[in-house]
A and B are shown apart, each in its own frame.
Chain A
Amino acid sequence: MKRLQHPFAILYNLRQFIWALIIPLARGLVLALSDGGVASWLSGAWIDLVTLLGMLLLSLLMWMAYSYEVDETGLSVRCGLIVHTSIFLPARQIATLSAVHAFYLRPFGAVRLRADTLAGSRERADLSLFVSKEEAKAILDGRVAELRSGTLSRRYRPRSLYVAALAAFSSSSFAGMIFLATLISRTGELLGAEFKSRVYGTFERVTQLLAFGIPPAAAALAYILLFGWLVAFSINFIRHKNLVVRRRGGALHIRGGVFTSREYVVAADQLNYLDIRQTVLSFFLRFCTVHINAVGYSKYSDDVSGVIPAVRVRDAARTLGLVFPEWKPAPRQLRHNWGALFKFIGDASWGCVLIPAATFFLRWLLPSWSGFVGWVGFMLCFPAYWFLMIRLIDYFTSGIARDGDRLTLHYSSGYYLHTIILPIDRIAWVCLRQSPIQAMDKKCDVLIYSYAEHSTRHHIRNLDRQAVQEMLGLEL
């Protein structure tokens, strides 16, 4: 049965016609410049009203022209006023169906439903529409019932402490800083420039008070990073609070969030890979987090990202077995030779040498900035040496294993250690890369590109080429 979207879509469609507001704005500007007066402005207000009514009418027509139908074969949508479009997503191709209960939609009783397949844009869901809460529940329950086969039924609900750990490990100071800066700037635009100057002035006074002998500019930088991290941590914690993961046969049902509740139904056979992730800190604390890679899951920056937020390494196999019993990490079978140390720490060492050298040089060159440069150089050394530490841990842990039709890849990327469990049929293509020095040693770097909307590369360093070819069946 064809249905129309939730009426909230009429308001949402208005954003496409925001350009039409230029008519009343231009009229107001012309009148202001010509000194026409309030009476003159009012006499032409009908133009503004007509423009706004026109926008509303177009939004309403777009809403009436947009209909959808959901059944066991798939999801079909018809839309378009002038150019009619029909879209059909077969049920077997839908990897992820998600429902976002945003706090601003709750007063309207609306939910944003998204459906995603392997094709289409990697930045946006293939289909996105507004439905009522009851309709969203019925569609998601129907999807779970479709995918549910077999008797497997498990539920995992992590403790708040583990959610806080995930938020702590995955928070970025820069993301928090950008959010805070945007918030202050936008609020300043609404409340006036005085608000902005008060906030920045207060920050400046607090920084000077709490500088503790450090140059105030450097202290300001450090506090900005700290506040940024705190903001990002709070956002991540709120996003992942109330996380529940349910496995029912072939359906993975994930729900999380406080103010905005997000719900996902992922087809278990459409998972691309499982990613067990650690940072340096979590490695030494013997914790890890588990993420899944599936089309449509964790696509947007405000989506729920992990499925198991934090678990002790010794409990990881048991917890994975609860929700993902068919996904078992295998111990390393192929690993690099011990002489490959420089291959791992070579590029990480550059920062560790160049940053202190540049700091000493700049302090000699600019003696009046010596304190600031010294402090900033000291702070910049932290990420450089942190990266070196990750690479050292990678040197002791990286490798590949094969267990039937699944590969387990151990490697590092950026500031994370990854253990990837990847089905062989989810490999898009493989590249074995040999430098001239590796050619003499008969070693190679293995680059595995996994099957997804966009290419995801897994890079394992310095393995024996012949052994890799035998393991992956690349001998010709």
Chain B
Amino acid sequence: MIAKRRGPFRLPRRALLLWRVRVTLCALPAPVLVALFFADSSVWRRVLSGVWIAAYLFFFLFFYPVMYRKLSFASNGHSFVVHCGVFYNRIKAMEIRNIQHVTCTASPLEKAMGLCTLFVWGAGGLIRVPSMDAGDARALSGGWGARL
């Protein structure tokens, strides 16, 4: 699909699922640690529980959905453009002739879901696209002459 269209392209739905799973896994130790270290102090227990629950809900319900909705990328024969950002909108653009090399990394979770993070390295800069479809990443970089 990417090879035939200019864009803009969005991330697959499972990218949002991956981020939510990741934040849930990161939040799991929090109640254990709070119960372990603040068993004797109910005030601190409540405060810290409130903090981690608020942080978890912030990322789960607001930050990652907004990030998913705003993230898109496109490439013509001239430049590679990424729209991203949560509080600040960002448009990052790099000319294709300035691209030095491209790398694609996948954590075990990303690999299981067929996703990867694309790093586009230029001379003096880097653009990162998280949790792309692995096939799309290969098609995109293939269009620039890079093989992944």
Contacts and interface: CB of A to CB of B under 8 A. Distances in A.
Interface of A: 118, 425, 427-436, 439, 444, 449-456, 469, 472-474, 476
A429 B90 contact: no
A429 B88 contact: no
Contacts of A118: 123
Nearest to A476: B74
15 contacts: A118-B123, A429-B93, A429-B95, A431-B90, A433-B85, A434-B90, A451-B124, A452-B124, A453-B124, A474-B79, A474-B81, A476-B6, A476-B7, A476-B76, A476-B79
B12 interface: no
B88 A428 contact: no
Contacts of B91: 430-432, 444, 469, 474
Contact of B81 (A427, A436, A454, A476): A476
B107 interface: no
Contacts of A433: 85, 88-90
B127 interface: yes
Contact of A429 (B78, B85, B92): B92
B37 interface: no
Interface in B96-115: 97-98
Contacts of B6: 476
Interface residues of B, number: 25
B89 A434 contact: yes
B125 interface: yes
A462 to B, nearest CB: 13
The 4 closest A-B pairs by CB, nearest first: A428-B124, A429-B94, A434-B89, A432-B91
Given A427-B95, A473-B78, A476-B74, A450 B90 contact: no
A435 B88 contact: yes
B59 to A, nearest CB: 19
A451 B91 CA distance: 19
Determine which residue in B8, B88, B91, B93 has the highest number of CB atoms from chain A within 10 A of its CB, and name it. B91
A280 B97 CA distance: 39
Contacts of B125: 428-429, 449, 455
Contacts of A436: 87-88
A386 to B, nearest CB: 29
Interface in B115-140: 122-125, 127
A469 B93 CA distance: 10
Given A429-B122, A431-B93, 14 more contacts: A425-B95, A427-B95, A427-B98, A429-B92, A429-B93, A429-B94, A429-B127, A433-B89, A434-B89, A435-B88, A449-B125, A450-B124, A451-B124, A452-B124
Contact of B90 (A425, A432, A451, A473): A432
A292 B107 CA distance: 43
Nearest to B91: A432
Contacts of A449: 124-125
B53 to A, nearest CB: 26
A130 B99 CA distance: 36
Interface string B12-55: 00000000000000000000000000000000000000000000
A452 B124 CA distance: 6
Contacts of B88: 433-436
Contacts of A476: 6-8, 74, 76, 79, 81
A178 to B, nearest CB: 29
Nearest to B74: A476
Contact of B124 (A432, A439, A444, A454): A454
Contacts of B7: 476
Given A474-B79, A476-B7, A456 B90 contact: no
Interface string B54-96: 0000000000000000000010101101000101111111110
A433 B91 CA distance: 7
Contacts of B122: 428-429
A434 to B, nearest CB: 4
Given A434-B89, A449-B124, A473 B98 contact: no
